[in-house]
Structures are given as structure tokens and as C-alpha cells.
Structure 1
Amino acid sequence: MTKHCYFFGGGKAEGNASLKNLLGGKGAGLAEMASIGLPVPAGFTITTEVCDLFYKNQRKYPDGLREEVAENIAKLEKTVGKRFGDPADPLLVSVRSGAPISMPGMMETILNLGLNDSSVEGLAKKTGNRRFAMDAYRRFITMYGSTGMGIPREDFDEAFDEIKEAHTRKRLGVPVGTKINDTDVDEKELALLVAKYKEIYKKAIGADFPQDPVVQLWGAVDAVFGSWMADKAVTYRRVENIKGIVGTAVNVQQMVFGNMGEKSGTGVCFTRDPNSGENLFYGDYLINAQGEDVVAGIRTPMKLSEFDKVDPAAYKQLCEVRATLEKHYKDMQDLEFTVEEGKLYMLQCRTGKRLPRASFRMAVDMVKEGLITKEDAILRIKDKDIEGVFYPIIDPAQKDELKKSYLVRGREALAAAGESVILVRKETSPEDVGGMHAAQGILTATGGKTSHAAVVARGWGKCCIVGCEKMDVDYEKGCFKVGEKIVKKGDSLTLNGSTGEVFVGGFKLIKPEPSEEFQTLLKWADEIRRLRIRTNADTPYDARKAVELGAEGIGLCRTEHMFFDTEERRLAIQEMIVADNVEQRIAALDKLLPFQRDDFAGIFKAMDGFPVTIRLIDPPLHEFVPHVEDKQRQLADKIGVPFEKIKLRVEQLHEANPMLGHRGCRLAITYPEILDMQVRAIIEAACICSKAGVKVHPEIMIPLTIDKKELQILEQRTRKVADAVIAKEGVKLPYMVGTMIEVPRAALLADQIAEVAEFFSFGTNDLTQMTMGISRDDAGKFLPDYVDEKKTGIFVHDPFQSLDQVGVGMLVKMGIEKGRSTRKDLKIGICGEHGGDLLSVIFCHKVGMNYVSCSPYRVPIARLAAAQAVIQEKRA
């Protein structure tokens, strides 16, 4: 029979870190820590396979699970010397989720399970601390009621506030307006609160709060498995692009208590600073609290460095655990711990989320420390880490204006500066996940560096400032106050995630320079990869920027983009479009020639020594003419033709389906003089640069080819024009002529097309559209439903973001094989958006491409992915 539960405790464990997919990150971490002798409360893990079966069988558990759980509860009782449901000395447990990939706060946790009206008295007597027992019971009812039964958490919070106002404030003589903490409420008031909570539960559910611990346990297990498909969890997986895992595990573990008094507490820490990457112990500690208090950010905790002064012995032991675990896992770890009456317990160990800049610092430092290899470091970096390195920061040139606009400083800050929509909350909860993702920045009044807001924002590379305790948030009025200053919904704010400062107003943001560690790691990647990395660039500025970021050529220069740079250029192309005959078209094109030639010369100079692939005009001509009458009349006046002629020409150019219409090489077949002008401009620019000492490698690319003969006609015309210019200039100038493979027919006939083409460049944007029959411009209406795992899960990834390897990818693979069967030295690349997608680049390596081309700021991602492909291949 399949094993569904794995026990850990007493220095032994049935699982280990290698079973992460089966036990989830938390369960595997607990098992591993237990097996290496760290102080871990005993428990067991119900596997992710059970979650998978739970959903496949209409929320029914597999046969034998209940008996297996009962056996593990008995084993837990024997290990800890307490009985589940014992009215005198009860075994209490936590029930917590744990997916194979960390999803902080997105699924459910229930603490103190096993308490009832009898055992709470036994717990009070056994510990000699009735306040602690009542506090544990009220927490349990809150979590079980809200998490397990769906009662709004606000109902419990409001009741707590009423008790504080009606009893605690009066007893302590606290002035109105001064905050009362949870720890100020005494045991009698907590007993009143427990009674009130049970009333709320009965009113909402129609039954008394369950007193049988076994009933409680299965209610909690149901809740945790049920939370796997909760909206917030599904949203988080979509945002994080988490795919291929079947569900969450459930961890049932003996409770240890951080809320037993001043010698107890709970904390969350990171073995290195997740913001900077420095090798510094980093975290929060909250006295007399349970773990949810730290993560929820309801109270602002003390810094981990202050914990040393509060309990030096426990802090010293925690530092030893830190060293042990980082050496064991060879990566920065995110730890949860509890101190119960001075005794340290470890509750979680997982790879810690970190900011992009910290990822590079840690990876490079760990190589230097001998913890990991260069290959390990390269595999550890994700594409979003590279994107995050270029998140904007506030331009420091504005320091005087910033001083005048300063509003408040938060206790902790992470990520870079951010504008646009900013989510402002007293504290965040997992329910805010949708708003947090939509927001550019997050600002909270309470919480510490390990609160939910900080952990999730760090994982997303978002700007987040927490613990602005001078901030008074009023949800009803849609504003917050800092002293006398009021900031309303819709006002502009700028957050500086580097310093924690908040400013009123919007400020100029700039892209930061990459760190030394960033450069070092990508240099290592360059030493390993085999794929060449080019860029898609239409201007000398983009070309220079791409070279700075590691580009080794241009894989796509779109000539039509240059037509829009100035009005003079626009008018020349529009004059060509409305021309009545070849002579008029050539006259208009002659006006464009010097502009194109200058543009190409600028790009060749920027790419000195690197190949430059220039695509001849691709879009249909209707994109270059105005479609509004006022604009048409203005054009008629400027180029001196009747308005009616412009209007008629625009109507003639209209197409029902322009993506499949008169565009690409079809334009060159109909209007070969356009090809003549562009080829002449390219080769003249190349000759000029070559004479000036620039190393030029032009590659002329003919788009939208569907047939060998079609390409042959245009290739011959291209060479005739090019060779004439070269002969006239007296320059030795090698050049290549190739084509884009972006129509399925071209991939199918690639062997024939390769008889003419010297290179292929797969235009995967259009190839995806034509293969799948999906318009990229219209896909937003339905494609999200295809990717949404809760609705259909038809696609794992959006095929316009990550290449559809099983469909479009097969055409690509076929095109490469057929093309090289004819021309063995055929140069092959990709120039669609997929050229900067990590998974797509790895695919391009596997199918034997020579290069990938992407936008300038995605060049580092392609460099990384190309190296990862080699390492994965070597380790397979």
C-alpha cells in the first residue's frame, strides 16, 4: 500500500531533503533538520500525493489514510509523552501547509489544535499559566473558525477590539487613542473573549465549536488541502509561474509555545541578508508571541540583533543552527523558530527568497567561499533576478527636491524605488496577494522585515516599506496621516526601497548600473555557453546599450521603424505609397535613401566587428498612412496631392486580415524598387563604414518567405543591387542573404529554401500565431483562461511569452533539420520575443541553433539561459 505519512522526531526521520516534491518544502526541511540532530518538535507529514488524489477524487481521501494518520498520532504521543485530547496534559499540534515550492502565506496554518473546554484547564494547571492557556485557546478558535470554516477573520478581530475597549482600557487606565496590545489583555478578559468567540462560531456555523480533537484535526487537514486551490494561492502560482507540482503537503507537528511569557518568543530569520546579499544574520524576534504574529506584521518585532541581549544562550544556539544549515544546504536559508521558556525549537527551514541584487551577491560570495561551484551559481540565478537588477531607482540628482518632499521613513525597506499604483495598508495579509501583485509598491504601518508583506514583495522584487509606525491609515476615508500631513487616494507618492524613505510627489527614476557581482556571474556564464547572443535593435543607441549588456551582434533590425523618426521621413514613405507609377515611387524612395543609409551606418559603427541582420520592410503599407480624415487632409496638403487621392489609396490598402496579407517579401515582389532602395542603403552604409576602418558584417534578411522560387527572385535582385554598389565603391565586402522562417509552410519546405538562403532566423511571434491560429493582438480575451490552472490549464505557459515547444517547437526543429540537410553550414537563429525567455533559449540550445536575439535588456537573461542549457545538458 502507498505510504501517505512520513514521521520525524527524536533525532530520526522517515523522509529527507531529497523528497521535497513528495513532502513539500516544509516537510522535507523538518525531516532533514530532525535527522541531523537539530531541535525540531516531533510530527509527521501527509504527502502532496494525497492532495493530488483529494482533488482527483472530488475531495475524498485515499483508502487507509485515516488509519495511517491515527497510527502517526499514536507514534507522536509516544515520542512526546502526551496524549491527544488528554484533559490534564494535552498534546497540542500545529497543522500547516507546505508546497514543494515556497508560497509564503498563501495556504493555511492552524495552531494549538487539540484544545477544548476541558484540556484548556488542564493546560493552565500544568503550565501554571492560565493567561497563556486562554490565549492559546482564543488563537485556536480564531484560526480554526476563519481558516477551517470560512468565518470572516474580521468578526473575531472586532470582538477582540470590543474586549480591549470595554475591559482592558478601563483596567489599565490607558487614554483613548493609545493603542492596546494583545499582550495587555489579562486571563479573565481572555476567558470572556473565548466565550465570545464560541458564540461567533455557533452563530456562523450553526453548531458548537468542536470539542473532539480528532474532528478538529480532520477539519484542519481539509482546510489546508482546500487552500491549495484558494484564489490567493492560484494567483500566487500564476504570478510566480509555478508549474508542474501536484499540490501541498500537510505537516502535523507538536506545538511549542512562544506565548508563555517574557522568556518565550518566536522569530523568523535568514542566514544572510536577503536584501543586500551580505553575509549577515538577518531577521525579527517577537517576545511572548506565536509565529503568526511575526508573519502577519500585526506587532512590530525587534531586530534579530537585539535578541542577543534578551536571551544570549538561545541566540548563541540559533547562530550555531544558522551555520550548520547554511553549510548543509549550501544556500541562504529562511528559518522559523520558537523559544519556549528559554529552549530553542526549529520549526522551518527552506531556501530563502531574496532580492535580485542579493541573488548575485550571494551566488558569487558562496563560490568564493568554496560552498558552491561556478556552475551551481549560474543555475541558481533566475530570469526574474536579472530583470530585477534593472528595476528603476530615484535619480540622486534630485536630492534637494527630495528633502522638501520627505514624509516618513519605514522601519524596513526592500527593492528599488517605485511609482504607479502603491498599496497602502495597516498590515497586509495573504488575502491582499492580488492587490500586492498589481501594485508597483507596498507601504504598511506595521510589520517587520520578515512580515508577510516583506516576504512576498521580496520574492516579487517589488518595492516594499513596512513598519511606518507614524502612519495612521484610514480605510473608510481612503487616506493616511503622518502628523499633520494627509495623503489621499490618488495622490502621488515615491517610495525609496533602498532607504525606507517615503516622499510626496513623483520623481524621476533611472535604471541602475549592474553590480560587480552581476558582471562576474555573467562573465562565468559567457565562458560556458555555446549559443551566441544577439539583440533586436533599430537604433545606434539600442545597439550600444545591447553591446554594454553583452550582445554579440544584431539578430533583427527592423527597417520600417526608422520611417517614423521624423516628419520628413514619414512624408517620403507616404509619398511613395500614394505614387501612381514606378517613377514616382523611385523619386520618393530616393528621398528615404540617405536617411536609411545614415541609420545603418550608425548601427554598423555601434556593432563594430559583430554581425548585423537587417530585415527588409515587413508591415503592410496601410500602417504608414493616416486613417482619420483630418490627418489625411493634412497629408494631402503637405505632399501636394488631392485629398480624394489619399482617401482612395487608403481604402485600396485596407485588408481584412493584414497579418496574412500584402506584407513582407510580398511587398518586394509587387514593388521591387522598395527592396532596391533598402539594399542599396545597407550596402552603401557598409562600404562607407568599411572604408573608415569599421569591421562590418551585414546580413540581409527577407521576411515572410513561403517558397523557394519567391526567395530566389528576391535573393537574385538583392545580390544584383548589392554587388553593383560594392563594385562601384571598390570595397571587399562579404555579406549574407537569408530569410525569416515565420510561416509554417516555410518550415515544411526548409530544405528547398535552404538551397537559396545562407541563414534562417525563426520569427517565432508570427510562427506561433500562424501555427496555433491565435492572433496575438486578440489573445487577451481568452488565452488567460487557457493558462489558468483553476479554469482549464490547457497551456502551461502563455505561448507568446514562452515558446510552445511541443507544437511550434516541433516546426522549428523540423525546419532546422531539413534546412541543414541541404546546407550543412546553415546559420540559424531566433528573433521573436522568445529569444529572451529562459525556457525558450534552453530549447534553442537543444535544437542546435547558432544564436538567439532579443531586446537589449533581455540580453543578460539569454546569456544566463544559454549557460544553464550547457550545464543541464552536462549533468543530465
Structure 2
Amino acid sequence: MSTSTSELVVGFRAAETSDRALLGGKGSGLVDMTRLGIPVPPGFVLTTACGLRHREAGSLPTEAQAAVQAHLAVLEREIGRRFGDLDDPLLVSVRSGAPVSMPGMMDTILNVGLTPDSVARLASATGDARFAYSSFEHLLSGFATSVRELPPDLVDDAVEGLDRDTAEGARQRCTALLATIEAETGSRFPAPEGQLTEAIAAVFASWDSRRARAYRRHKGIDDSIGTAVVVQAMVYGNRSDTSGSGVAFTRDPASGAPGACGEYLPRAQGEDVVSGRFESRGLGALAVTLPRTHAELAAVLDRLERHATDMCDVEFTVESEKVWILQTRVGQRSSRAAVRIAVDLAREGIISTAEAVRRIDERALARLPRTADPAPDRDALIARGIASSCGAATGLAVFDADAAAEYAAQGRRVVLIRPTTSPSDMSGLIASAAVVTGRGGPMSHAAVVARGMDRPAVCGVGPIEISADGRTATVDGRSVHVGEAITVDGDNGWLARGELELVDAEDDPDYHRYLQWRHELHDTDEEQP
């Protein structure tokens, strides 16, 4: 079946539809926000129709290639920079955008268009070599793992011991990454046009990655719907001390409590916030350091929630105090939060009680998390951290994703304990009853995935060191052995030895209010002729 060029590549401003099935969730949200006048960096979408053609042929259709060049020219005129220019280049991000939410499951490549020559010119032109080379490092790192498919451990080893917080350290890290890419792949790092072509192909291909397939199987998502790809002008969270990147929810995704929450990391780009590798700050810290920026963000968050009539998950960048919104979507939440959010939105008059009842299905009620009772004594307590996904669970301690999957295949409940998690740990996260990480917080990859699966999670418990044979871990100074029984409480942020008693959390007043509304609506329906 033929597809018109206008259905293959669509600009944010020129889009005639915000259909998620065509533009993907990310593209749909960007088109809607552009129409609302929310500050969105301009760009365009290679649609799911284009993705399916790419999947069938193994490359972009000729007409899509031409459309990409045409939309890139429009972007150049809008930004006032030229893609591939040596002195002041237009740089773009290339990001996935499936029609359904699959957080962290597919690939992103940032700062596409930088080269060894242009980064040196950028450092000179801006007078900020740290900014220029940290941008190039993000490109090289993403290109190495996502495009050229080098093992993440190999990429990390290439920059081991090199300082990331100074201009010279950042330059050395780029030199090491560039050498690793070229030595391991046997080809030179491409020019800007080649980077863009390879990055688009890699993001389309990430739809069929092992972790994405595992996630879709677990969630019951149709493999055939495919993904879109978003190409967007870069804004720079690493530009200065008054710049940064963050993730915000318009309500607490773990408990459902009203009020925006999230994390912000100064001088950061992309996955830095959700990776769990860096110590980010709450939105309250942004309010202290950049109060006008925080107020601008708060107003945007309120507008997005009212537009969506639901809790939103928002990715944002601050560049020199100005807020830019990179993504909005209806946020994943725990089943407990789902009940509270639906009830609160109805109380606030944003949705009807009938809609509140409709939003909670029987499967969500069946997954209402349990809680630990009583709390552990001092001898049993292993560590305390940040309560990141509600509920409590017990299981046998394991320290890598493969072990978690193997234990679960034998019918045993496990607790995955890791220094941090990445999308490559997806099979282990699916297999686990609960997750514990040494670093990160409620917006980290581990926490977001755990909430979407109603798994308790405790993050930021302190240093976790795993022995060379993988049989023992030291968690904040205390030893834990593979197969040892552990209880995790994601409501209060602790893990302890032993299988502590768990009780059903059915005394929640929002839960009972929801049941009352459901009963009343059921009675009303029965009275209808």
C-alpha cells in the first residue's frame, strides 16, 4: 500500500493531526504543545508509517529521505543555524516515540551534527570548552552504544578515570570515545549527514531490541504498531550553571498525592537525570536557585495537566534560565496512585465520577500493593533509601538481571539489588518482586519501570558493591548474599533481612470512595430501562 510523503515526515507546526497512532506519543505531545504555545524546540516527526516502511525495506524510503532534507532546511531557517556548519552548527536530537508509553526502552542520540572539527570551533566561539566537549561526549557515547552497538561496559571503560567536570577532562573523554568507536567498528566517525542517517536507522531499529520486545510482551503491547522518530533542535541543559535537565510529574506517581514533584540536575543533558548515576535535586532546589524558572515550569505543568485531564510526566530542559519542554505524556503510576489520582481529579471537577470509575480497571485493583507490618528491628534493617515505588514485597536477593530471570523461571520470588539499573536490565526488572538501587531516586529508570509494573522500589540506599563472583553484595556497608530472604518497603524506603509480614493496604479512604462511586454507578445503570 502506498503512503504519501506527507504521512512519512511531519513538522510540528505544519501537522494537520496529532494522532498518536501516526506521530507516536512523543510526536503527538509535541504537536499539541506547539499548538498551545508552550515553549517547545522546533522539529519534525518521521511517522510510524515511515517506520514500518523502514522496517520492511531496512532503510528509509527515497521520498522520506528527501522529506527529511526539506524539513531540515525549514529547521535551519527557523533556528538561524545550518546543520553541518563548522562555526555555529545546528545540532539535533534523534529520539524514539512509540504510540504507547515505553519509558527508557528505546534509543536517543543527542547533539547529532557535531564533529571533531566543529566541536573545537564551538569551544572557541562560545569561550566554554567544557560545554562544547561535554556536548560532543553525549553524542559519542550515544552513538557508540545505540548506533554502533558497542557494549556499554566497553564505552564506560574507555573513559574510566578521566574527569568529566573540567574542560580538559571532557576533551580527553571525547578523544578516548572517538578512538574506541573507530577502533572497534573499523570505520571513521561520520560527517553530520551520515550521523543523522545512522541515528534515525538506529532509533527505528531499537523498536526490535531485546529489552523493548521483553517490555512489550510483559505489557501486552502489539509488536506491529512500530515507532515514530522525532528529530528536534537541541537546547542545552549543559550550557551553564543556570542550565540543566529535569523530569517532573504533575502529581506524585507513587502515592498519587497532589502537587508537582520531580528531579532536576544542573549542567546536564538527556539521560543524566533518569540514569541514576548522578545525584539530582528535587524541584524545590530549582525554586531556590532559579525562582522565576521554577514559576514558569509550574505554570506549564498546571496547563499540561488541565489539557490532558490527567497526571502528566514531563521532560524539560533549562537553558540559561529559560524552560523548554521536550516531552509530555500521561504518566505511569502505581495502582495505589491511580486510584487516588482518579478520585482527586473527580473531586476537583476536572473529570466526572463516572470517568474516575472508568479509569480504574479490575486488574489495577487486584494489584493494590501490600505494606510491611511491623517495621524491622535494628538488627534486621540493612539500609534506608528513597521510597520510590509504593508497596512492600519479599524475595531472594539477586544482583544481576540474568540471575533474576533464572530464579523467577524456577518459580522463586526475587529482589533485584543493583548499584543502578539501565534499560538493559529490563528482563530482571520484569522478573523481580521488588527493586533496590544504590544511586538514583523516584525519577530514575528503575523507579519509573517499577511503578509501571507495581513493583516496590527503594533507590539511593548508598554504595552497593558486588563481589567479583557475583555471590555477595555490600549494601551501605552491610553484606547480603545471593538467595538471602529480603523484605523491601517502597512506602517507607527500607530493606531488611527476612520475610517480614505483609498486610493488604485496603484501609485507603480513596479506595473506599472509589468503590462507593462504582457501586452507585452500577445501581444507576441497572435502573435504566
How high is the TM-score relative to the length of structure 1?
A: 0.56
Contact 2:130/2:167 (<8 A) preserved: yes
AA in 1 matched with 2:318: V
CA shift for structure 1 position 73: 0.3
Contact 1:408/1:470 (<8 A) preserved: no
CA change 1:483–1:375 in 2 (3 A) is closer
Contact 1:414/1:465 (<8 A) preserved: yes
AA in 2 matched with 1:329: A
Contact 1:41/1:254 (<8 A) preserved: yes
CA shift for structure 1 position 482: 4.0
Measure the CA separation in 2 of the matches of 1:530 and 1:242: 34
1:29 is aligned to 2:37: no
1:444 maps to: 437
2:114 maps to: 115
1:415 is aligned to 2:390: yes
CA change 1:251–1:357 in 2 (3 A) is same
Contact 2:255/2:390 (<8 A) preserved: no
1:202 maps to: 182
Measure the CA separation in 2 of the matches of 1:284 and 1:483: 23
CA shift for structure 1 position 245: 5.6
- C-alpha distance after superposition, 1:660-715 (max 9, x if no partner): xxxxxxxxxxxxxxxxxxxxxxxxxxxxxxxxxxxxxxxxxxxxxxxxxxxxxxxx
1:405 is aligned to 2:380: yes
1:478 maps to: 471
CA shift for structure 1 position 305: 1.5
RMSD of aligned Cα (Å): 1.9
AA in 2 matched with 1:25: G
Measure the CA separation in 1 of the matches of 2:507 and 2:217: 28
Measure the CA separation in 1 of the matches of 2:224 and 2:295: 37
**Aligned pair partner of 1:365 in 313, 328, 344:** 344
1:126 maps to: 125
AA in 2 matched with 1:37: G
Contact 1:15/1:32 (<8 A) preserved: no
1:302 is aligned to 2:281: yes
Measure the CA separation in 1 of the matches of 2:289 and 2:269: 17
Measure the CA separation in 2 of the matches of 1:516 and 1:245: 41
AA in 2 matched with 1:285: Y
Flag structure 1 segments of 5+ consecutive residues without an equivalent: 165-181, 532-866, 871-876
CA shift for structure 1 position 160: 1.4
Contact 2:462/2:476 (<8 A) preserved: no
Q: Secondary structure at the match of 2:357?
A: helix
CA shift for structure 1 position 476: 4.2
Q: Secondary structure at the match of 1:299?
A: coil
Measure the CA separation in 1 of the matches of 2:503 and 2:133: 53
Q: Secondary structure at the match of 1:363?
A: helix
Measure the CA separation in 1 of the matches of 2:377 and 2:43: 53
1:236 is aligned to 2:222: no
- C-alpha distance after superposition, 1:513-536 (max 9, x if no partner): 1522222223333334489xxxxx
Q: Secondary structure at the match of 2:50?
A: helix
AA in 2 matched with 1:98: G
Q: Which has the larger radius of gyration?
A: 1
Q: Secondary structure at the match of 1:422?
A: strand
Measure the CA separation in 2 of the matches of 1:497 and 1:487: 19
Higher strand share: 2
AA in 1 matched with 2:172: L
- C-alpha distance after superposition, 1:393-450 (max 9, x if no partner): 2122xx4x53431121112331211112111111100010100010111110011211
**Aligned pair partner of 1:376 in 340, 345, 355:** 355
Q: Secondary structure at the match of 1:194?
A: helix
CA shift for structure 1 position 285: 0.5
- C-alpha distance after superposition, 1:707-747 (max 9, x if no partner): xxxxxxxxxxxxxxxxxxxxxxxxxxxxxxxxxxxxxxxxx
Measure the CA separation in 2 of the matches of 1:259 and 1:34: 24
Q: Secondary structure at the match of 1:118?
A: helix
- Aligned pairs for 1:87-102 (under 5 A) are 87-102=86-101
AA in 1 matched with 2:506: E
CA shift for structure 1 position 61: 2.8
CA change 1:138–1:244 in 2 (3 A) is closer
- C-alpha distance after superposition, 1:434-493 (max 9, x if no partner): 000101111100112111001110100001111112444446443222454211212221
2:370 maps to: 392
CA shift for structure 1 position 202: 1.3
Q: Secondary structure at the match of 1:334?
A: strand
Q: Secondary structure at the match of 1:523?
A: helix
The sequence identity of aligned pairs, in percent, is 37
AA in 1 matched with 2:78: T
Q: Secondary structure at the match of 1:465?
A: strand
- C-alpha distance after superposition, 1:577-606 (max 9, x if no partner): xxxxxxxxxxxxxxxxxxxxxxxxxxxxxx
1:189 is aligned to 2:193: no
2:270 maps to: 291
Q: Secondary structure at the match of 1:281?
A: strand
1:527 maps to: 520
- Aligned pairs for 1:287-686 (under 5 A) are 287-389=266-368, 391-396=369-374, 399=375, 401-420=376-395, 421-474=414-467, 476-482=469-475, 484-529=477-522
1:105 maps to: 104
Measure the CA separation in 1 of the matches of 2:475 and 2:424: 26
Measure the CA separation in 1 of the matches of 2:287 and 2:244: 13
1:742 maps to: none
1:649 maps to: none
Contact 1:325/1:333 (<8 A) preserved: yes
CA change 1:160–1:254 in 2 (3 A) is same
AA in 2 matched with 1:198: L
Contact 1:54/1:60 (<8 A) preserved: yes
CA shift for structure 1 position 159: 1.7
Of 491-500 and 408-417, deviating more is: 408-417
AA in 1 matched with 2:382: L
